[in-house]
């Protein structure tokens, strides 16, 4: 925390012990001293994915939310917010918001609406879904989400229904950047440890926009105040560019050329972390595959690496990017000065919406791989090491069913659902959608061809029933059959975790009026009782809908929405989260007990919990014997095991990487360059089948997921890898091809994942490489 400049005479937040009954002078009556009494209830902001902590000030006299401030207990946002945090109040008071369930009157898209009841909507939707499931038309049910804002809840619902119905917005968003990262390390998101970095290398704006704006901005400026250098590649003069020591505005799409020129500088000047590369890169595998006639030793690899990138000179990068050679050289020297305290970040921006955009993040992360700044303080972490996803109360198996409308088979390399093609896939009559949910998703507006979406949404033969789950009207909701009002960030339950910095935390979004009522001793059975109008929340909605789909349990769906305490009765949100906080979050029960609270009460009171602080180099941890199960070994000595049954937090605090980590007399390695697809393919084509490789769900419930273990042999001993922690993104890129011929495709994938693809698959490398 950067509190050195803060005056000691004032405090930022009311003391925690007064959150139940905080008295504050009223600003409007000022200078008359009118005291108001507030209950302070935490929740999570829902205006971007950062999900920073908010404290709702509930006026005890009026029973209304007076304002939102930051939640000082939130590890990511640390009590501070961007402009959108306090402005959440505007959404609560928005006179245009939808307060009651609406159903359309007249033709779809005609714009005429009629108020309906939740019962009517639920019954009608449930009947449709039940019929579709009974008639084996499971692929006709689709849930299309923009900003999920939570970890796993809804995907659990879809899995419980036995449908492959998840669709995302990611392919017009971050899939490019994700691909570049995933091909390096299997994890598709970076978690830059800006606060401890010496050099911060940003592609696009991260100080006033982008992921994760507020938490990252805090830490970037913190590092800058300590002397870190900031390099920004952005074609816009952004606020971030303002704080850059070097702001480069290259020709759009030429960013990888700059990255590679820096890489070449590191390689040719031998400024890379040789020990790290020798230990953790899969150079041996690469040499065997690509240069079988060469000696399989690191020195040879170094020579070949230098040859590979020889053409990526500053002059070449300058001609590609329009940035002058001197600037490029200076930037390269700054990168080289970082040691392994180089934090880098690309998310959307240059990697998004362009051909080969994935090479932006891929070549950017190359710099981390060269400098050994991966998973170390001040470097860049794989997201999952800085994220914690708690297991839920019931874990339905992943459905054994494939939706061609989201994952058409002729695009085996698609990194996410091809959701922007949906109107065209439906238009080609590859399938129809019987029941289509949209949530925080407005494709008519955000996708490039909004009118194709309008055409699809208007056509009742293609979309049988469109249900918009939304707090506000949108261009897409306009073409819905049901518009069902869902709560804002302060009117709903969610559990989420984001890789904002080198730690692991969970945040708890909750209906603050409900938490307040319960604090005051009033029992609330349904969030609609406290929300404005008849606004609901998805958590309870899905439970209720699932019960109506399968009222007698015959479809096998209801079991996943039943109470554990009282079997045969409906699961409540209360029990769902109580169980999760009690059983799935290490350290939380103890921490709660220290304050005399149940874990759920603790989360209701503080809204967040830090599971681990300073995760550090997970890859250097030894693999416990208990984690080794069902071992398979490949030609290079990589060992694959079944994932442990429960995700555990990482608490390694090692400040230094062991040069030769050993356990039980054997070296333990992980490789950052090896594609995780290697192992996934193996698993997929062997006993587990494709289901297990569907990362979207599999990753969330580790007991069913396949942990990817990669390692490389050393000259002396068999290496064994530390497990790659499953990525918790909504990525499904690593699924194996669904047909026997898929092995060929998987083979392609391996090539992409290997370092060879860096030159062969890259359009930005100079000809001849």
Partner 1 sequence: MPDIEPGSAAQPRWTKVLDHTRCIGCHACSTACKSENEVPLGVHRTYVKQVDVGVFPHVRRAFQVTRCNQCEQPPCVDACPTAAMHKRPDGIVDFDKSICIGCKACIAACPYDAIFINPDDGNAEKCNFCAHRIDQGLEPACVVVCPTNAILVGDLNDATDPVTRIIHREPVAVRRPEKDTRPKVYYKGAHQATLDPLAARRPEGGLFMWSEQGPVNSSLGGHPQSPNSSAAAILAWDIPHRAPWDARVSLYTWTKSLASGVWLVAAMCLVLGVLASGSTLWRWTVPLLSGVWLAATGGLLIWDLKRPERFWMIFLKPQWKSWLVRGAFIIAGFSAVLGLHLLGSVFDLDALTRVVAWIGIPIAVMTAVYTAFLFAQAKARDLWQSPLLPPLLLVQAVLAGAAGLLPFVSEAEFAVGANVTVATALRWTLAIACAAQLLMTLGEVTLTHSTAHAKLATFEMVKGRYRMFFWAGVILVGFGCFAPIAPVEYGALLGLLAFEHAYVQAGQAVPLA
Give the footprint of partner 1 on this chain (CB under 8 A). Answer: 2-14, 24-28, 30-33, 67-70, 79-87, 89, 207-208, 213-214, 217-218, 221-222, 225, 237-243, 247-249
Rounded-to-integer distance, Cα 469 and Cα 439, Å: 5
Tell me how crowded residue 50 is: count the other CB atoms within 10 A of its CB: 26
Q: Work out how close the CB of 61 gets to partner 1 at its nearest, in angstroms, rounded to a whole number.
A: 16
Q: Work out how close the CB of 225 gets to partner 1 at its nearest, in angstroms, rounded to a whole number.
A: 7
Rounded-to-integer distance, Cα 11 and Cα 386, Å: 30
Tell me how crowded residue 244 is: count the other CB atoms within 10 A of its CB: 19
Pick between residue 240 and residue 282 the one whose CB is nearest to partner 1: 240
Rounded-to-integer distance, Cα 148 and Cα 31, Å: 44
Pick between residue 17 and residue 552 the one whose CB is nearest to partner 1: 17
Do the beta carbons of residue 412 and residue 742 sit within 8 Å? yes
Q: Work out how close the CB of 636 gets to partner 1 at its nearest, in angstroms, rounded to a whole number.
A: 46
Q: Work out how close the CB of 255 gets to partner 1 at its nearest, in angstroms, rounded to a whole number.
A: 15
Q: Considering Cα of 575, then 576, then 578, then 580, what sign does the dihedral take?
A: positive
Pick between residue 129 and residue 488 the one whose CB is nearest to partner 1: 488
Q: Work out how close the CB of 210 gets to partner 1 at its nearest, in angstroms, rounded to a whole number.
A: 12
Q: Work out how close the CB of 223 gets to partner 1 at its nearest, in angstroms, rounded to a whole number.
A: 11
Rounded-to-integer distance, Cα 717 and Cα 310, Å: 33
Pick between residue 205 and residue 465 the one whose CB is nearest to partner 1: 205
**Closest-CA residue to 672 (of 758, 730, 753, 760):** 753
Q: Work out how close the CB of 26 gets to partner 1 at its nearest, in angstroms, rounded to a whole number.
A: 7
What are the residues whose beta carbons fall under 8 Å from the beta carbon of 526, sequence distance 6 or more?
A: 540
What single string gives the DSSP state of each residue in 446-506?
HSTTHHHHHHHHH-TTTEEEEEEE-SS--TTGGG-SEEE-B--TTSS-EEE----SSEEEE
Pick between residue 249 and residue 748 the one whose CB is nearest to partner 1: 249
Do the beta carbons of residue 316 and residue 256 sit within 8 Å? no
Rounded-to-integer distance, Cα 622 and Cα 695, Å: 25
Pick between residue 36 and residue 666 the one whose CB is nearest to partner 1: 36
What are the residues whose beta carbons fall under 8 Å from the beta carbon of 703, sequence distance 6 or more?
A: 391, 395, 643, 645, 646
Q: Work out how close the CB of 201 gets to partner 1 at its nearest, in angstroms, rounded to a whole number.
A: 18
Tell me how crowded residue 227 is: count the other CB atoms within 10 A of its CB: 7
Pick between residue 80 and residue 362 the one whose CB is nearest to partner 1: 80
What are the residues whose beta carbons fall under 8 Å from the beta carbon of 295, sequence distance 6 or more?
A: none
Pick between residue 327 and residue 645 the one whose CB is nearest to partner 1: 327
What are the residues whose beta carbons fall under 8 Å from the beta carbon of 749, sequence distance 6 or more?
A: 413, 675, 677, 681
Pick between residue 87 and residue 306 the one whose CB is nearest to partner 1: 87
Q: Work out how close the CB of 490 gets to partner 1 at its nearest, in angstroms, rounded to a whole number.
A: 13
Rounded-to-integer distance, Cα 53 and Cα 607, Å: 7
Tokens of 534: 């008849």
Pick between residue 87 and residue 631 the one whose CB is nearest to partner 1: 87
Pick between residue 6 and residue 566 the one whose CB is nearest to partner 1: 6
Pick between residue 66 and residue 756 the one whose CB is nearest to partner 1: 66
**Closest-CA residue to 193 (of 179, 212, 209):** 212
Do the beta carbons of residue 177 and residue 348 sit within 8 Å? yes
144 bridge partner residues: 167, 438
Pick between residue 69 and residue 550 the one whose CB is nearest to partner 1: 69
Q: Work out how close the CB of 29 gets to partner 1 at its nearest, in angstroms, rounded to a whole number.
A: 9
Q: Work out how close the CB of 47 gets to partner 1 at its nearest, in angstroms, rounded to a whole number.
A: 11
Q: Work out how close the CB of 322 gets to partner 1 at its nearest, in angstroms, rounded to a whole number.
A: 9
Pick between residue 34 and residue 593 the one whose CB is nearest to partner 1: 34
Rounded-to-integer distance, Cα 711 and Cα 510, Å: 42
Q: Work out how close the CB of 67 gets to partner 1 at its nearest, in angstroms, rounded to a whole number.
A: 5
What are the residues whose beta carbons fall under 8 Å from the beta carbon of 726, sequence distance 6 or more?
A: 384, 643, 647, 695, 698, 699, 700, 702, 705, 707, 708
Tokens of 129: 């879904």
Q: Work out how close the CB of 465 gets to partner 1 at its nearest, in angstroms, rounded to a whole number.
A: 38
Q: Are strands 190-192 and 102-105 parallel, antiparallel or unpaired?
A: unpaired
């Amino acid at each position: 925390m950067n509190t050195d400049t803060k005056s000691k005479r004032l405090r930022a937040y009311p003391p925690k012990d007064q959150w139940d009954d905080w008295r504050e002078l009223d600003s409007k009556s000022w200078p008359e001293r009118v005291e108001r009494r507030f209950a302070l209830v935490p929740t999570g902001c829902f205006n971007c994915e950062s999900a920073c902590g908010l404290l709702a000030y509930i006026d005890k006299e009026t029973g209304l939310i007076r304002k939102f401030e930051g939640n000082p207990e939130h590890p990511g946002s640390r009590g501070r917010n961007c402009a959108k945090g306090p402005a959440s109040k505007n959404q609560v008071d928005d006179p245009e918001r939808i307060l009651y369930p609406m159903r359309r009157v007249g033709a779809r898209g005609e714009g005429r609406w009629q108020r309906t009841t939740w019962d009517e909507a639920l019954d009608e939707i449930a009947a449709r879904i039940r019929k579709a499931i009974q008639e084996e038309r499971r692929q006709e049910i689709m849930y299309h989400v923009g900003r999920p804002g939570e970890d796993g809840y809804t995907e659990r619902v879809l899995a419980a229904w036995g449908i492959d119905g998840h669709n995302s917005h990611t392919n017009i968003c971050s899939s490019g950047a994700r691909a570049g990262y995933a091909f390096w390390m299997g994890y598709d998101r970076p978690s830059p440890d800006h606060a401890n970095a010496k050099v911060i290398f940003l592609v696009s704006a991260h100080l006033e926009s982008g992921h994760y704006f507020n938490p990252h901005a805090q830490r970037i400026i913190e590092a800058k105040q300590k002397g870190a250098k900031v390099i920004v590649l952005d074609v816009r003069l952004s606020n971030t560019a303002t704080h850059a020591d070097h702001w480069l505005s290259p020709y759009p799409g030429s960013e990888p050329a700059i990255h590679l020129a820096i890489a070449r500088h590191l390689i040719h000047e031998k400024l890379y972390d040789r020990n790290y590369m020798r230990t953790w890169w899969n150079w041996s595998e690469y040499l065997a595959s690509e240069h079988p006639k060469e000696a399989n030793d690191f020195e040879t690899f170094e020579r070949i690496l230098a040859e590979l990138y020889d053409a990526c000179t500053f002059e070449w990068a300058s001609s590609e990017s329009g940035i002058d050679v001197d600037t490029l050289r200076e930037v390269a020297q700054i990168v080289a000065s970082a040691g392994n305290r180089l934090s880098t970040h690309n998310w959307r921006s240059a990697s998004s919406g362009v051909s080969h955009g994935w090479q932006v993040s891929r070549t950017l992360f190359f710099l981390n791989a060269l400098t050994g700044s991966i998973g170390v303080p001040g470097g860049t972490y794989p997201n999952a090491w800085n994220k914690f996803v708690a297991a839920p109360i019931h874990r339905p198996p992943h459905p054994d069913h494939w939706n061609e409308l989201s994952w058409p088979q002729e695009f085996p390399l698609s990194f996410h659902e091809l959701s922007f093609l949906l109107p065209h896939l439906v238009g080609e009559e590859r399938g129809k959608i019987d029941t289509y949910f949209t949530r925080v998703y407005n494709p008519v507006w955000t996708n490039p061809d909004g009118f194709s979406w309008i055409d699809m949404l208007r056509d009742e033969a293609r979309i049988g029933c469109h249900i918009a789950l939304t707090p506000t009207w949108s261009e897409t909701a306009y073409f819905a059959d049901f518009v069902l009002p869902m709560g804002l960030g302060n009117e709903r339950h969610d559990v989420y975790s984001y890789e904002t910095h080198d730690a692991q935390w969970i945040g708890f979004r909750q209906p603050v009026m409900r938490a307040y009522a319960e604090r005051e001793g009033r029992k609330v059975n349904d969030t609609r009782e406290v929300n404005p109008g008849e606004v609901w929340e998805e958590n309870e909605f899905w439970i209720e809908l699932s019960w109506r789909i399968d009222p007698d349990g015959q479809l096998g769906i209801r079991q996943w929405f039943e109470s554990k305490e009282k079997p045969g009765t409906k699961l409540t949100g209360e029990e769902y989260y109580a169980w999760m906080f009690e059983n799935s979050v290490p350290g939380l029960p103890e921490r709660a007990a220290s304050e005399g609270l149940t874990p759920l009460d603790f989360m209701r009171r503080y809204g967040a919990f830090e599971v681990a602080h300073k995760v550090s180099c997970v890859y250097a941890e030894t693999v416990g014997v208990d984690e080794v199960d069902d071992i398979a070994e490949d030609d290079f000595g990589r060992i694959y095991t079944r994932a442990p049954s429960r995700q555990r937090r990482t608490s390694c605090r090692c400040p230094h990487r062991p040069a030769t980590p050993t356990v039980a007399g054997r070296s333990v390695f992980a490789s950052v360059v090896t594609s995780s697809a290697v192992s996934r393919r193996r698993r997929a084509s062997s006993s587990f089948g494709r289901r297990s490789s569907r990362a979207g769900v599999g990753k969330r419930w580790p007991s069913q997921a396949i942990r990817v273990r990669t390692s490389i042999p050393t000259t002396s001993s068999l290496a064994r890898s530390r497990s790659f922690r499953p990525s918790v993104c909504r990525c499904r890129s690593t699924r194996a091809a669904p047909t026997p011929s898929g092995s060929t495709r998987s083979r392609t994938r391996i090539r992409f994942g290997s370092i060879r693809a860096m030159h062969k698959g890259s359009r930005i490398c100079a000809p001849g490489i």
